[in-house]
Structure 1
Amino acid sequence: MKYTAIYSACTLFVLATSTAYAQHGPVSKVNAEVATNGSAPYWTAERLKAAKPLPLPQARAGAHVPDPAAALAQPASQAGADGQPPSLQGAPAPQQLFFPSPEQKILPDSEGVSPSAAGTFGAHYTSTRVFPLFSGANAGFSADRAYPYTTVGKLFFSISGVPYVCSASVIQRRIVATAGHCVHSGTAAGFHSNFMFAPAYRDGVAPLKTWNWRLVTTTATWAGGGGGVPNAADYAMIEFVDQALTPGGPVYKLGNLTGWLGWQTVSLALNHTSKLGYPCNLDSCQKMQNVASNNFRTTFPNNVEYGSDARGGSSGGPWVQNFETVPVGGATGLNTGVNRVVGVTSYGYISTDPKVQGASILDSRWVQLWNLVCSIAGNCS
């Protein structure tokens, strides 16, 4: 069986796929109280300021069984889609969500890199605040205001009335990708609530507005998995509502403003990725971070671990291969898909010493989510 490009505007490239897990369909929830003003009534400045990082799921004892044989050969079956820079020129007026308090450690926008760092597992990485960053009149020249960084942002949501944050990224005109555990408990408690996305967030400011959700979907593998990790398909997608960027102005889709990343399945086991997001152990999750590292080991049941010092708040952030502005001459090498998500942050370890994070390998279950959200008119065209 092969996937077919049902929506050509989605630029779905089909190389080949397996039918594994095809019996596990997506699990979804619709926002019955959808608003078109970019934010839900739940989100006051006080709640935004109080939102805490969703704890990074911790690998269960004995569950992180290394699977070295799986890392010896990259699967040949892949599906993928291209990213695209924003189609709109300029940016709306920044939206001040709240003013961070001193304990949130809003540090100067200076550069900082920890090259070739490693934890006790020996998985090397380079961790850095996204840079350069500028404030005030020069803010528009900052890296986080330029594509492809503009595709990454903070995902706000609530669990039983308590506000939380994860990380997420835009992968189509109205579609954002994140972790399954950032949208659903993995148990009978079901879906979280009040999803709101702030792309390119920094220091309490949403420079590209906030966006309200309409549909959320995750895999049955995550929803019925009991909430434990590693999980074979800990990923999700959310549809966000169009909105005007100025009062009474024309209505735009999220991806028109931010651009979007592409994606590629079964490409995590042998790769090098930039892991983007807002871990709260770094800059109190007030500035975007980028952790770059190579694959470290493949683990059961369908996961790969990379070196990383990111913790809670980074959940759901994209793992992007070939994260770059394509140079003259184009990308080179055997895997030339540029700015493509190949995983999202899923779990870490109880101890901070290993400095390793894991992600589920994107497979046919990811494509099922994609086909579902792209079946809604205008989401992918």
Structure 2
Amino acid sequence: MRRRLGFITVGSIVLAALTVAQAPAQAGATAAAGSATVVEARATIHGRPSTDADTAARLSTAYWTPERMRAARPAPMPDGVDAPDGEAADRPGRIGAPRDVAAPAAPRTSTTTLSAAGSGQGTQAVNASPGVGRVFFTHDGEDFFCSGGTINNPQANLVSTAGHCVHPGDGGSVWFDNWVYAPEFTEGEPLHGLWSAKEFTSVEGWVDWGYVWWDFAFVTMHPLDGDRLVHVTGGQGLSVNKSKSFSAMLLGYPGEPPFDGQSQYYSSGTTKVAGAQRVKLKNCPLNKGASGGPFLRAWDNDLRFGYVNSVMSYKFSGNMYGPYFDDDVLDIYTVAKNKQ
């Protein structure tokens, strides 16, 4: 049996005020020449490098108790505006041929009964995706959560998310600690287990400068009980260089009222061009906690997968923004996709 994501009208939602995750680089500031440079880091658990899958699973499960997961706060979103000065100079874009660089994949075997509750726009019934999950991490001694999407990469072990869900974007070397992914987290339960991060792959434009047009990352996950993530949950496809105006399904775990982050929610509509290298979905009700959840194109409601074409970054004037996926993003994916 499948329970479907519900919906509510946009007009019934009061959006919470934006908060700033960190002080982003000032609009118009001169960008570093290496903004597109790949930045990589080993994930940590309790501040120590996470190198062994079994140890990572044991420590992560011990730390992320049901009580701790319930108490985690939605991660603050970065501040943003519609067209900051300097964006076009820092990220003019490398838009090549439109490509689907990864195709959606269903799980290798049947999963447990799927369930989720949610919200969105319109009247369609939307199935929850096992390829979208809730992310948990620790920063400065506090526990937070974001969202992410499983990517069908060659090693079957990759999650896409926002840059601000792995690093504060302040130029420092401290990446977020105790990072785990709970695919299809539903009613407070990790239906498919807690998967521990092994390595982060992002970009200097986010990690060193905090520019929202670079606010994306990929996370390599450890196996769990000998299984690889995509084999258990299936995975989303990945698209680059597609039109900036497309029919999008946004999935994630918003955590501010009227949401509580305990189940998967959706919002849908047609994206618009934003700035030089960003897209936006107007009048989106999702809020903090949904950060890192995918903008999905070519959503298949029966398969419950689509193609990740951006990730949720921040809210501005009621609209949800995300970085445009072009060849800059493809370069980062190419580095991350074959990591064991």
Q: TM-score range by the shorter chain?
A: 0.7 to 0.9
Counterpart position of 1:289: 265
The alignment partner of 2:315 has SS state of: coil
Counterpart position of 1:185: 168
TM-score normalised by the chain length of structure 2: 0.75
Counterpart position of 2:36: 24
Q: Is the contact made by 2:252 and 2:266 (CA closer than 8 Å) also made in structure 1?
A: yes
Structure with larger Rg: 1
Counterpart position of 1:264: 239
> C-alpha distance in 2, partners of 1:113/1:361?
22
Given residue 159 of structure 2, which amino acid in structure 1 is its aligned partner? V
Q: Is the contact made by 1:321 and 1:341 (CA closer than 8 Å) also made in structure 2?
A: yes
Q: Is the contact made by 1:269 and 1:295 (CA closer than 8 Å) also made in structure 2?
A: yes
2:98 to 53, 58, 78: 78
Deviations 1:305-357 (A, max 9, x none): 11111110010000000101479xxxxxxxxxx811100001112xxxx3201
Change (3 A) 1:23 1:54: closer
1:28-47 mapped onto 2 (5 Å cutoff): 28-31=40-43, 32-33=49-50, 34-36=52-54, 37=57, 40=60, 41-47=62-68
Structure 1: stretches of 5+ with no match in the other structure: 1-20, 68-73, 95-108, 116-125, 132-142, 245-250, 328-337
> C-alpha distance in 1, partners of 2:269/2:296?
11
Deviations 1:157-185 (A, max 9, x none): 11112100001000021000000011011
Change (3 A) 1:113 1:277: closer
Q: Is the contact made by 1:268 and 1:295 (CA closer than 8 Å) also made in structure 2?
A: no
Q: Which moved more, 1:38-47 or 1:266-275?
A: 38-47
Change (3 A) 1:29 1:56: same
Counterpart position of 2:6: none
Given residue 273 of structure 1, which amino acid in structure 2 is its aligned partner? A
Change (3 A) 1:86 1:298: same
Change (3 A) 1:369 1:150: same
Q: Is the contact made by 1:75 and 1:266 (CA closer than 8 Å) also made in structure 2?
A: yes
Given residue 237 of structure 2, which amino acid in structure 1 is its aligned partner? G
Given residue 178 of structure 1, which amino acid in structure 2 is its aligned partner? T
TM-score normalised by the chain length of structure 1: 0.68
Shift in Å, 1:63: 1.9
* Cα root mean square deviation, aligned: 3.0
Counterpart position of 1:237: 218
Given residue 222 of structure 2, which amino acid in structure 1 is its aligned partner? V
Deviations 1:63-105 (A, max 9, x none): 28999xxxxxx955233221111102233999xxxxxxxxxxx
Q: Which moved more, 1:169-178 or 1:274-283?
A: 274-283
> C-alpha distance in 2, partners of 1:208/1:232?
32
1:48-197 mapped onto 2 (5 Å cutoff): 48-60=69-81, 63=84, 77-79=97-99, 80-91=101-112, 114-115=121-122, 143-144=127-128, 149-172=129-152, 173-189=156-172, 190-197=174-181
> C-alpha distance in 1, partners of 2:114/2:59?
16
Shift in Å, 1:39: 5.5
1:307-346 mapped onto 2 (5 Å cutoff): 307=282, 308-325=284-301, 339-346=306-313
> C-alpha distance in 1, partners of 2:160/2:79?
21
The alignment partner of 2:335 has SS state of: helix
Percent identity between the two aligned chains: 22
Change (3 A) 1:110 1:310: closer
Aligned residues: 286
> C-alpha distance in 2, partners of 1:110/1:198?
16
Structure 2: stretches of 5+ with no match in the other structure: 1-32, 44-48, 89-93
Deviations 1:29-66 (A, max 9, x none): 11323442366243233321211001122215862899
